[in-house]
Structure 1
Amino acid sequence: MSDVEGKLREAAQAHQPDRERMLARVRNGMAGAHAPRAHRQARAVSWSRVTLATLAVGATLVAGAFTASSALNDGERDRQTVAAPDDTGILSTESGPLWSDGSVDPHSNTYWAQSNITLQSGEPLAAFTLEVRIAQTGGVATTGTWQTLPGDDFEVSVRRSDGATVYRWTLKAGRTVPAGRHVFAGQYNHTPGGRDAVNDTYATTATTAGGGRYEVGGAF
């Protein structure tokens, strides 16, 4: 054995490993391995909070937009309900204590129809006239009238005029239309098929017991 080999063997036998130092290095290494994971978890929690906050702000903005849109739609409906006479001469559907609405009865069919006028008054009426014009769209011919108020209180007539069938209710002298909601209807046959009521109109003139004179009207 050479002198070099002998010295190496003696050094190896004399070496004593530092156990505590080795354990400390292992613990430090494990701690370093876990650190990135904890960092990733912290970042995930942070982004979750940002996402939730963004969603909350978005929900608030959507709710605010919906509220503003609803308020705008309500205002638009109010403007449509009360309107001045337009270029066609159609009156507004509300005036003073009077409110009115025209509609085609849902029980109308391919051969026959009924046009309803709903009138609501906040005061008794001492004078009242309602005229309904049903445009001649083909085969239109009256089949009668009716109203929720007593028939004996009105003079009722039906005639043809200017390409339309005209229904007219006139309150008799000394009679009164009570405050409340009332319906008047004109009934008629027509050419088979769907009928367009776009040119049908109605107009009402009324005087309250207190002497106020009001007019309402519209289309169907």
Structure 2
Amino acid sequence: MKDEELSVRLREAAGAHRPDRERMLARVERGMAEGGPPARVVRPRRAAPSWLRVAGATAAVCGVLAFGAFAVTSTGEGGAHGERVAAPPTASPTPSVTPPPALGPLRTEDGPLWTDGAVDPHSNAYWAQSDVTLRTAEPLSSLTVELRIALTGGVNSTGSWRSLPAEDFTVSVTEDGGYLVYRWALRAGRTVPAGTHMFAGQYNHAEGARDAAGDYLTAHAVRTTGERASVGDYFGPNH
């Protein structure tokens, strides 16, 4: 038999073939009755489009980032249920400023006594002199003058002087209550004559123009008649 004839007969036989449906069902039922699972047809999976693969990868990255953020929040310290709470900003410390004393309005004149306080015009950016001018219309048998310089930045004494004789006074320089205190006290048995007299305290200070708002002076005297007099003055805005 020639190859051409064989091919024709095979095609005719294939075309005439009809599957025996009843026999196939019978085989399936028989297999199920015997406890075996029916044959599973496995179809090849189609590859996902490239855009879908990219979207899936992006979603996965976002999920990892979201989980990381949740982990940081849930493990933080200092808040309820483990939530992280931002610390409030720390307030800057308020610089300490020495206020003027609560002396009320000082009298610059009392009876024969008058006074004035001022920063000497020859003061500079590193050094200053505070001048006390005291005038009395009659002799004094007792006198105490105090000059108080607020201890602002860098203040320290460099000396003092007075126009009256040095041997007539005791002089001290101390620190008290936030002030550098110059004190001149008339010695017992000495007398301050009538006239205008000067007392001055000198000191270094931090570079720049120094604010003398907290500085002040007081003077307490006894007249030869036994009467007392007291005066005072500020060096700052109240001057």
**TM bracket (short chain):** 0.5 to 0.7
Alignment of 1:96-135 (within 5 A): 96-135=111-150
What amino acid does structure 2 have at the position aligned with 1:210? T
What is the CA–CA distance in structure 2 between the aligned matches of 1:132 and 1:142, rounded to whole Å? 12
Which residue of structure 1 lines up, in the alignment, with residue 91 of structure 2?
none
> Are residues 87 and 160 of structure 1, via their aligned partners in 2, closer, same or farther at CA, if it must alter by over 3 Å?
closer
Code of the aligned partner of 1:97: P
Distance in 1 between residues matched to 2:169 and 2:110, nearest whole Å: 22
TM-score, normalization: structure 2?
0.55
Question: What per-residue deviation string (whole Å, max 9, x for no partner) do you get for residues 26-49 of structure 1?
Answer: xxxxxxxxxxxxxxxxxxxxxxxx
Alpha-carbon separation, structure 2, partners of 1:139 and 1:90: 28
What is the RMSD of the two structures over their aligned residues, measured on CA atoms? 1.3
- After superposition, the C-alpha distances for 1:100-156 in whole angstroms (9 at most, x for unaligned) are 000000000000000000000001000000111100111000001001101110000
Instruction: State which structure, 1 or 2, has the greater radius of gyration over its C-alpha atoms.
Output: 2
5+ residue gaps, structure 2: 1-100
How much does 1:87 deviate?
A: 5.6
Matched residues, number: 135
| Paired AA for residue 188 in structure 2 | A
Q: Deviations over 1:68-93 (max 9, x none)?
A: xxxxxxxxxxxxxxxxxx96334210
Check whether the contact 1:128–1:171 (CA below 8 A) recurs between aligned residues: yes
Percent identical pairs in the alignment equals: 58
Contiguous gaps of at least 5 residues in structure 1: 1-85
What is the SS of the residue equivalent to 1:152?
Answer: helix
* TM score, norm. by length of structure 1: 0.60
Provide the C-alpha distance between the structure 2 equivalents of 1:123 and 1:142, rounded to a whole number of angstroms.
32
Moved over 4 A (4+): none
CA distance in 2, matches of 1:89, 1:192: 31
Q: Give the distance between the partners of 2:138 and 2:196, measured in 1 at CA.
A: 11
Displacement after TM superposition at 1:162 (Å): 1.1
1:149 to 161, 164, 173: 164
Change in 2 beyond 3 A, CA 1:153/1:188: same
